[in-house]
Amino acid sequence: SAEELDARIIAAKAALGDRAVVLGHFYQRDEVIKYADFVGDSFQLANAAKSKPDAEAIIFCGVHFMAETADMLSGPDQKVILPNLAAGCSMADMADIASVEACWAQLEEVYGPMDAVDAEGKVPVIPVTYMNSSAALKGFCGEHGGIVCTSSNAKTVLEWAFQRGQRVLFFPDQHLGRNTAKAMGVPLEQMPMWSPRKPLGGNDPESLEQARVILWHGFCSVHKRFSVAQIDKARAEFPGVRVIVHPECPMPVVDAADEAGSTDYIVKAIQAAPAGSTFAIGTEINLVNRLAAEYPEHTIFCLDPVICPCSTMYRIHPGYLAWVLEALLEGEVQNQITVPEQVTVPARIALERMLAAKP
Ligand code: 13P
Ligand code: SF4
């Protein structure tokens, strides 16, 4: 029962003390979040993983790419545990290292050697990977003068990249790439989309020549389902409603919203609002429902409560949390996430650049 599980988790956590730290992403269900020692967005959790050097184990209640990142940023003897190994991310799976390397090789045919600098000292392309990607892609970015971004610091990261390169290859999330670049004034014609199925992404060399941001074809299956019609409906029913969506939403949705921002941005916006505010939020339902419960002085609802749970985030059930904690007490490390050293070394370069790029 839920009560038994609660008792087991509480007992195991108490017995482990500082040996284990539990990190929880904002999208985790309440039954898990209540045991997190630290709750945050992707950027904050990466920092948290780096700043708990005394914990023997970091229990990451989130998805696989976050646990990989925690492993790469934590100390060499620390163990990162993902309570359910099936907690992946469909967006991260949309870019694999072989496809990214094939794309890079084709871009090299168009732009010439990737390490050649122009009169301004800029290389042809800087690779930027969204945090929501495999460790191998982060390693690729570290090896090729690139960087990782999260949804909270994507703009700062793109500015960093444009200082060093004529253009950016942004993967895997087309929407975050497009929305961020558009907000920075990059015209849509200068954002061709890459498709690994077609040579040169199906783009003619001329459009690639003027490209500033080459987008990958990935998307978040949760956020892509929000629509402008939902925003119109919210505005009709709640005049004065403040609509905030995550930048993983498609561009028309971000354009129709009042604001777009990472999960932490959404949390802070609600915290700072005067009592009696009304919010329509376009992001994962567990976070929206929790905010609605935590801030009863506001009216907070999800643009569509039916379609938007993240099924993989939801795979972290408290039963798995109890299991990995109890195993640790027995001296067993279950579901450890380990990134090979040859990937970690370059990926850490790209991750450290990301951590230096403030939200
Ligand atoms: P943030 O935590 O950066 O807002 O990202 C949301 C997300 O989709 C994580 O998978
Ligand atoms: Fe991946 Fe989307 Fe779930 Fe985030 S919300 S973990 S991007 S599927």
Give 38 Cα–ligand 2 centroid separation in angstroms. 20
Percentage of the chain lying above the pLDDT 90 cut: 92
Task: Please state which CATH class domain 223-302 belongs to.
Answer: alpha beta
Instruction: Determine which residue's CA is closest to atom 9 belonging to ligand 1.
Output: 42
- Residue 190 has a pLDDT of 96
Return the residue matching tokens 């090299």. 108
- Residue 200 has a pLDDT of 77
- Residue 309 has a pLDDT of 86
pLDDT, mean over the chain: 96
pLDDT at 293 over 80: yes
- Residue 72 has a pLDDT of 98
- Residue 206 has a pLDDT of 80
- Residue 181 has a pLDDT of 98
Per-residue pLDDT, averaged over 12-29, amounts to 97
Confidence of residue 359 (pLDDT cuts 50, 70, 90): very high
CB-ligand 1 contact for 153 (6 Å cutoff): no
Give me 299's structure tokens.
């009216």
- Residue 204 has a pLDDT of 82
Give 316 Cα–ligand 2 centroid separation in angstroms. 13
Query: Relative to the CA of 63, which ligand 1 atom is closest?
Result: 10
pLDDT at 305 over 90: no
pLDDT at 53 over 90: no
Mind listing the pLDDT tens digit for each residue in 174-190? 999 999 999 999 999 99
Residue 61 and residue 51: Cα distance in Å, rounded? Answer: 17
Residue 310 and residue 324: Cα distance in Å, rounded? Answer: 22
Q: What is the ipTM of this complex?
A: 0.97
Confidence of residue 308 (pLDDT cuts 50, 70, 90): confident
CB-ligand 2 contact for 262 (6 Å cutoff): no
CB-ligand 1 contact for 68 (6 Å cutoff): no
- Residue 205 has a pLDDT of 78
Mind listing the pLDDT tens digit for each residue in 129-163? 999 999 999 999 999 999 999 999 999 999 999 99
42 is in an annotated binding site: yes
Give me 180's structure tokens.
């961020």
CB-ligand 2 contact for 91 (6 Å cutoff): yes
User: How many CA atoms within 13 Å lie on the side-chain side of 9?
Assistant: 23
Mind listing the pLDDT tens digit for each residue in 213-238? 999 999 999 999 999 999 999 999 99
pTM reported for the whole predicted model: 0.96
- The fourth-level CATH superfamily of domain 2-88+313-338 is NadA-like (3.40.50.10800)
Q: Relative to the alpha carbon of 224, which ligand is closest?
A: 2
Residue 256 and residue 245: Cα distance in Å, rounded? Answer: 10
pLDDT at 261 over 80: yes
Give me 121's structure tokens.
């000292």
Residue 219 and residue 201: Cα distance in Å, rounded? Answer: 17
DSSP result, 247-281: TTS-HHHHHHSSEE--HHHHHHHHHHSPTT-EEEE
Mind listing the pLDDT tens digit for each residue in 56-99? 999 999 999 999 999 999 999 999 999 999 999 999 999 999 99
CB-ligand 1 contact for 152 (6 Å cutoff): yes
- Residue 157 has a pLDDT of 98
- Residue 203 has a pLDDT of 84
Residue 5 and residue 222: Cα distance in Å, rounded? Answer: 29
Do residues 123 and 164 touch, judged by C-beta distance below 8 A?
Answer: yes
